[in-house]
Amino acid sequence: QVQLVEAGGDLVTRGGSLKLSCGTSEITFSIYTMGWYRQAPGKSREFVATIAHDGSTNYADSVKGRFTISRDNIKKLVYLQMNDLKPEDTAVYYCNAWDIGASAGYWGRGTRVTVSS
């Protein structure tokens, strides 16, 4: 029943930039590990990046050096800054929250990113 809402997806040209955001009203947001995943047409959902409550981050090899995940625990938002976008980044991007206390994960409904050649 944790609700996550993504925003910021758009159509951009190769080499462009976008910043995605994901928000929640969940009171325990600050102790969740937050993440971004993506699903391209005809493909399964794949890991992009995560950020833990202490600010530590992990990235998929395909986005290292180009994407940056961050969080604002006061505003209860997580962001994904995407630079030097490539056509292979085209996908629906989903926000994820992991509640270790409940051993449960939650998903947003996604925001679409399209990168043209």
Question: 4-43, pLDDT tens digit by residue?
Answer: 999 999 999 999 999 999 999 887 888 899 999 999 999 9
Question: 77-110, pLDDT tens digit by residue?
Answer: 999 999 999 999 999 999 999 988 888 899 999 9
Please give the pLDDT value at position 26.
Answer: 81
> Residue 55: which of 28, 34, 26, 27 has the closest Cα?
34
The answer on pLDDT for 72 being more than 90 is yes
